[in-house]
Amino acid sequence: MYPMGYFYGIDMTYIVLVLPALIFAMYAQTKVNSTFNKYRGVANNRGYTGAEIARRILDMNGLQKVVVERVPGNLTDHFDPKASVVRLSDSTYSSTSVAAIGVAAHEVGHAVQYAEGYAPIKLRNTIVPVVQIASYAAWPLAIFGILFSFSNLANFGVILFGLVVLFQIITLPVEFNASNRAIKTLENNSILGNDELAASKKVLSAAAMTYVASAVVAIANLLRLLSIVGFGRNRD
């Protein structure tokens, strides 16, 4: 007799919940890569580089102490709040493409969020250490609890994974807000023209989809974990 959620030995919870989410995530990643590659060949009319725009927007917001650095890779751009550094990838730092300008402005948006005390990013930053542990420990604890009939341990595993989901959900407004800040700054300061701005919006919208996909995958895995733990309780 197969456990609940299984059909002839096939884990239906994975097929119904997780697999579609993973397919969506793969589509989102493909979309952001193809959109970025499409517009990385379109230079902005004023010849700004990603690094120049990052520095300019930081200075506009009184963030002269935040450094702009180059890091290896493609789309490895990020803001490091501990070091107060905006790190731009090889595909962004010296590129004059409208795609690079949008990405650079987005990362600076995170620096501005920290400077202004934007609540969601402060909350996300607070739970990062716990989430890093929870992402590794949640499933093993839950499965161990089921196998050895430690229901409290299994429940604790579910709670830990719930924190991972919470982190992914909090990430959404953080990323959307950074993109909105970027577009408004590029538009209000006439850094990009209308057509260039539209292209940057497409790049940032595609990037936003990857964060939505990550949240969907996390939620799907949480529902699967709840199903597995629930079956463990019923079996006992």
Strands (E), the chain: 6-7, 10-11, 67-71, 78-80, 85-89
Is 69 catalytic? The answer is no
The DSSP 8-state label assigned to residue 148 in this structure reads T
In the three-class reduction of DSSP (H, G, I as helix; E, B as strand; rest coil), residue 106 is classed as helix
Q: Which of 52, 69, 107, 196 is catalytic?
A: 107
8 Å CB contact between 89 and 72: yes
| Residue that the structure tokens 């959109």 belong to | 35
CA-to-CA dists, residue 34 to 92, 99, 232, angstroms: 15, 11, 43
Would you name the residues annotated as active-site residues? 107
